[in-house]
Amino acid sequence: MPTANSDLARPRLSGVAWVICIISAIGFAFDSYELLMLPLIVRPALVDLLGVPAGDPSINTWVGLLFNVPAVAGGVFGLLGGYLTDVFGRRRVLVWSILLYAFSAMFAAFSTSVGWLLFWRCCTFVGVCVEFVAAVAWLSELFPNPKQRESVIGWTQAFGSIGGVMVTGAYYLIVTYGDQLPAVRGGHEAWRYTLISGVIPAIPLLLIRPFLPESPVWREKKLAGTLRRPSFGELFQPRFRTTTIVTTVMMACAYAAAFGAIQQTPRIVPGLAEVRTLARPAQEQMVSAVQSFQEFGGLAGRVFLAILAVRILSRRKLLRVFQVPGLVLMPIVFLVAANTSVTALQWGIFAVGFMTIAQFSFWGNYLPRVYPTYLRGTGESFAANVGGRMVGTTAALVTTQLANVVGGAGPAAKLAYASAIVGTTVYVIGFVASFWLPEPKSEDLPD
């Protein structure tokens, strides 16, 4: 039931609050920008670094590793980052995490081997994982009014999909005009320029974020000496056990749907009949065009969730608005549309992106409401990093290895079938787990 506080008129945002919202939106956008480079660049990067054809089985193996290993590294250090966020404060951790992911993305552009590319992608993922947890905890505590908080977190997270749109647009421009840019390691490879572009977004964040206020809730408790020390063990005490287990499982499923199916799409596109005969630059342009539909779908899903988050009180009902259609769409898109035409795949991936990516915004709204201040960063971090990054992203390995053994007319068709199997399976698991998802006790944040 709504509390008395939630029935009050929302206070008007101050100038500082608007700056916080704008910078947070930019931060979420560039988190996605950094991560969503990989589906676009992984195929051409591996072809160049390994010196093998795009259909070689070793490509599948390395794609799985490049998707999974950095995510696991991000999960391990992101978990530590959530703990440090509760100990040292939200703002300080935000600034250092941005520095890490921006410059590691640029250094990855100069990789001379797959090993170096893997190393720098691990550093990028670590920075993004830490930044996300710190940012959500920071935002949720800066806006005490429940309705305002739901709106702020929902709308700023929606900009995560703007980052996806931006990187697909950047990749298209780089593929088209890259030969006019200064050479990198003696060539004009689009994947290298795309990685270098990852340092640009961090500049406004690094200039402004150090001057924004720390979370007043965290600061007051810290200064008063009443801030309890967070503990991972406490997440499994009776009070939080069900919440921790269920959210960890469900975030694993959300990440598995993204990594095990949706992010495999750029490697499926070149196998379509109308694309495979095109020259390589034209193929990459088509990859970018199809990927942009997924990003616009994800953006639309995040916006729709932001609208519904303040209208549907039950968190289970809100989540199922996206889970149920997604469960139906996943096998149709990857079994049928991905083997039919570019147009069918574009609209299919738009719809799947809408249903899947919206669920990432859901967790940003939900998790701050089920953990108290001293445990908020730690609890969010455990679900996102252990469930999402360390467990969920292993779906990329499963999909790429399954693609080597399932039937199909070619490598792209096999990858589509494997994506359908993995994506549908994790959607089923996530839907079943939702029946145990605890409803928050109040619209106000737990103290």
**In this structure, is residue 65 part of a structural domain?**
yes
The pLDDT confidence band at residue 3, using thresholds 50, 70 and 90, is very low
**In this structure, is residue 96 part of a structural domain?**
yes
Task: State the CATH number of the domain containing residue 132.
Answer: 1.20.1250.20
Three-state SS for 187?
strand
Q: Distance of alpha carbon 428 from its chain centroid, rounded?
A: 20
- Cβ partners under 8 Å of residue 83, min gap 6: 230, 232, 377, 378, 381
Residue of 272, 423, 412, 416 lying closest to 334 (CA atoms): 416
Helix and strand totals (H; E) in the chain = 19, 0
Residue of 253, 271, 224 lying closest to 326 (CA atoms): 253
Is 444's pLDDT higher than 80? Answer: no
What tokens appear for 251 in the block? Answer: 């975030």
Residue of 247, 253, 246 lying closest to 425 (CA atoms): 253
**In this structure, is residue 3 part of a structural domain?**
no
Q: What is the pLDDT of residue 421?
A: 96
- Give the integer Cα–Cα distance in Å for 269 and 39: 12
Q: What size, in residues, is the chain?
A: 447
215-239 pLDDT, tens digit per residue, is 666 677 666 666 666 677 888 888 8
**In this structure, is residue 446 part of a structural domain?**
no
Q: Distance of alpha carbon 331 from its chain centroid, rounded?
A: 22
Are residues 415 and 264 in contact, defined by beta-carbon separation less than 8 angstroms?
A: yes
- Give the integer Cα–Cα distance in Å for 214 and 94: 11
Q: What is the mean pLDDT of the chain?
A: 83
Is 166's pLDDT higher than 60? Answer: yes
Residue of 250, 248, 246 lying closest to 436 (CA atoms): 246
**In this structure, is residue 112 part of a structural domain?**
yes
Residue corresponding to tokens 């300080």: 92
- pTM of structure: 0.75
DSSP 440: P
What tokens appear for 377 in the block? Answer: 């960063």
Q: Which residue has the higher pLDDT, 18 or 94?
A: 18
**In this structure, is residue 442 part of a structural domain?**
no
- Give the integer Cα–Cα distance in Å for 218 and 216: 6
**In this structure, is residue 211 part of a structural domain?**
yes
- Give the integer Cα–Cα distance in Å for 247 and 385: 11
- Give the integer Cα–Cα distance in Å for 17 and 387: 32
286-343 pLDDT, tens digit per residue, is 888 888 898 899 889 988 988 888 788 788 899 999 999 999 999 999 999 998 899 9
How many distinct structural domains can be found in the chain?
1
- Give the integer Cα–Cα distance in Å for 302 and 203: 25
State mean pLDDT over 48-68.
84
Task: Compute and round to an integer the Cα radius of gyration of the chain.
Answer: 21
Is 399's pLDDT higher than 50? Answer: yes
Q: What is the pLDDT of residue 147?
A: 72
State mean pLDDT over 174-195.
86
**In this structure, is residue 114 part of a structural domain?**
yes
Share of the chain above pLDDT 90, in %: 24
Determine the structural domain holding residue 409 and report its residue range. Answer: 15-436
Are residues 54 and 47 in contact, defined by beta-carbon separation less than 8 angstroms?
A: yes
- Give the integer Cα–Cα distance in Å for 365 and 363: 5
122-147 pLDDT, tens digit per residue, is 988 888 877 777 777 777 777 777 77
- Give the integer Cα–Cα distance in Å for 358 and 379: 21
The pLDDT confidence band at residue 22, using thresholds 50, 70 and 90, is confident
Is 2's pLDDT higher than 50? Answer: no
Q: Which residue has the higher pLDDT, 61 or 250?
A: 250
255-270 pLDDT, tens digit per residue, is 999 999 998 998 899 8
